[in-house]
Chains A and B, each alone.
Chain A
Amino acid sequence: MSTPVTVEQVADAMFRMISDAAGVRKLKPTDVTKAVIEQFGADRCSKETCKEAIRQLVDSGRCIYTYFGGSYIELPQREIAE
């Protein structure tokens, strides 16, 4: 049986994706969830782990939620709409 990835590993992978996409494409929480599950494999990474990872990213301040017609997850910026 394959070893499950930790919440921290998933959070780091998500953070890399979000950093790489910054200024190029806005990613929704569902986008990063699907991407990391594809990256690690569904047998190693569950949706629950992804949910926890997003929670960790946002609660720690590494990422924030933004809203532009839909909800996205991005790197923290000051007053994005200004």
Chain B
Amino acid sequence: MSDKKPTPKLDELETGPWPSFVREMKRAAETSPMAEGLLGVVELSYEDRVGHWKHGGVVGVRGYGAGVIGRYSDVPEQFPDVAQFHTMRVNHPAGWFYKTDALRKICDIWERHGSGLTNLHGATGDVILLGTKTEELEPAFEELTENGFDLGGSGSVIRTPSCCVGPARCEWACFDTLALTYDLTRHFQDEIHRPSLPYKFKIKASGCPNDCVAAIARADLSVIGTWRDAIEVDEAALADYVRAGVDVRRDVCDLCPSRCLTWDDKTLTIDNAACARCMHCINVLPKALRPGRERGACLLIGGKAPIVSGAMLSSVLVPFMKIEPPYTELKELIGKILELWADEGKNRERVGEFIQRVGLGSFLEAIGLEPRPEMVKHPRENPYVFYEEYFEEEPK
């Protein structure tokens, strides 16, 4: 570009053997004035030690209230090419599998209509297309939809559901995460594209308790694969591990959080009733131990990263649910949760915060679930489900 501005601070970030976002931005800037402008704004931010973006404003393409995040520079006169630098979110395929030609199509579209810079993937999981002008939103959307892509969620909507690779690549998947994610995405199209909730609502599915998508920490509703019968043991494979020098007592039994495993130098005994389904023993002895055959998922609710009132991990909502098409039970439960929260939730109050405010007991009653022992995090220490029959009337 002809009017390249010096970027000494960014240049420093290019030094070293590691990949650098600056290098990629400079490469994009060879053909994209927006990427060139972005380099200037970022350099200025390093100098001033403040961000130079205003967030929000007109969002969406015609009919949608989600999928586009408005960004405006507060120094448009200095960098007119990035006066507007909107981000588009593209709904990712379940498990983030792409054919190479799909990625080429996305990149070609974005070079025509945006800065050419992408971010695979955002925290929600969508393909993030960084930087375009307002007048390019509709044409970009049109080309994306012509090629089979849709926008994802942003704002006060159900965010694009995401999942681990599940049975496609992992032997521990206790349900088909890909099929569920695809089905939920189709079922909740309106709620993904048209804001109708107090704030964001994230659904993430992990095939097993290893929780590779960190649903427990990042999703308002986590669907985490589990089983309810006994862990399967292959005695011959276990003997192979022992012969190979694995210390079953030290590496497996002593590290079991619920101490449900015992080893007498010959036999591994599992108290399945006490098992917390943490996957530790299966991860250490993958050839000898397997999840049980009666598989489904544990539903948890309320996880979030810190924004309004700090980070929260999800709590158990349904200890075990079969996750099979057409997923009626799960969809009905999500529908009840959304309806209650949309009616009673405050502006920008995540569902976990809402539950804390109204109390888990009231929440469960409103959505028609019975309290379960698995919902209590610390028995006899901080019980937040109260049973009225245990309270005696004060003597008069």
Interface string of B70-91 (1 = CB under 8 A from A): 1010000000000010000000
B64 to chain A, nearest CB (A): 7
Is B198 on the interface with A (CB-CB < 8 A)? yes
Is B6 on the interface with A (CB-CB < 8 A)? no
B295 to chain A, nearest CB (A): 36
Chain B residues, CB < 8 A from A71: 59, 65-66, 155-157, 195
Taking A66-B56, A67-B56 as contacts, is the C-beta distance between A29 and B63 under 8 angstroms? no
Chain A, residue nearest B60 (CB)? A65
Is A20 on the interface with B (CB-CB < 8 A)? no
Chain B residues, CB < 8 A from A69: 56, 348
Taking A28-B347, A79-B134 as contacts, is the C-beta distance between A67 and B196 under 8 angstroms? no
Taking A51-B190, A65-B195, A79-B134 as contacts, is the C-beta distance between A70 and B347 under 8 angstroms? yes
A81 to chain B, nearest CB (A): 3
A47 to B70, CA, bound (A): 29
Name the residue in B60, B64, B154 with the highest tally of chain A Cβ atoms < 10 Å from its Cβ: B60
Whether A67 and B194, one on each chain, are in contact in the complex, defined by CB atoms closer than 8 angstroms, is: no
Within 8 A of A (CB), among B82-139: 84, 134
Is B141 on the interface with A (CB-CB < 8 A)? no
Residue pairs across A and B with CB atoms within 8 Å: the count is 87
Is A39 on the interface with B (CB-CB < 8 A)? no
Whether B58 and A80, one on each chain, are in contact in the complex, defined by CB atoms closer than 8 angstroms, is: yes
Chain B interface helix/strand/loop/mixed? loop
A5 to chain B, nearest CB (A): 19
Is B199 on the interface with A (CB-CB < 8 A)? yes
Question: Range of interface residues on chain B?
Answer: 20 to 34
Chain A residues, CB < 8 A from B84: 79
Is A30 on the interface with B (CB-CB < 8 A)? yes
Chain B, residue nearest A26 (CB)? B347
Whether B62 and A61, one on each chain, are in contact in the complex, defined by CB atoms closer than 8 angstroms, is: yes
A79 to B58, CA, bound (A): 6
Chain B residues, CB < 8 A from A30: 196-198, 342-343
Whether B348 and A70, one on each chain, are in contact in the complex, defined by CB atoms closer than 8 angstroms, is: yes
Chain B residues, CB < 8 A from A82: 57, 72
User: Interface size (A, Cβ < 8 Å)?
Assistant: 27
Chain A residues, CB < 8 A from B154: 67
Chain B residues, CB < 8 A from A29: 65, 194-196
Is B69 on the interface with A (CB-CB < 8 A)? yes
Whether B194 and A58, one on each chain, are in contact in the complex, defined by CB atoms closer than 8 angstroms, is: yes
Is A54 on the interface with B (CB-CB < 8 A)? yes
Chain A, residue nearest B345 (CB)? A30
A77 to B70, CA, bound (A): 14
Whether B56 and A81, one on each chain, are in contact in the complex, defined by CB atoms closer than 8 angstroms, is: yes
Is B331 on the interface with A (CB-CB < 8 A)? no
A27 to B191, CA, bound (A): 18
Interface string of A15-39 (1 = CB under 8 A from B): 0000000000000111001100000
Taking A65-B65, A82-B72 as contacts, is the C-beta distance between A70 and B155 under 8 angstroms? yes
9 further contact pairs, Cβ within 8 A, besides A29-B196, A81-B56: A51-B190, A58-B63, A65-B65, A65-B66, A67-B59, A67-B69, A68-B57, A71-B156, A79-B72
Residues of A with Cβ closer than 8 Å to B? Answer: 28-30, 33-34, 47, 51, 54-55, 58-59, 61, 64-71, 73, 77-82
List the 8 closest pairs (A to B, CB-CB), nearest first.
A65-B65, A71-B195, A81-B57, A71-B155, A71-B156, A68-B56, A67-B59, A80-B57
**8 CB-based A-B contacts, threshold 8 Å:** A51-B194, A54-B196, A66-B59, A70-B155, A71-B59, A71-B65, A79-B57, A82-B72
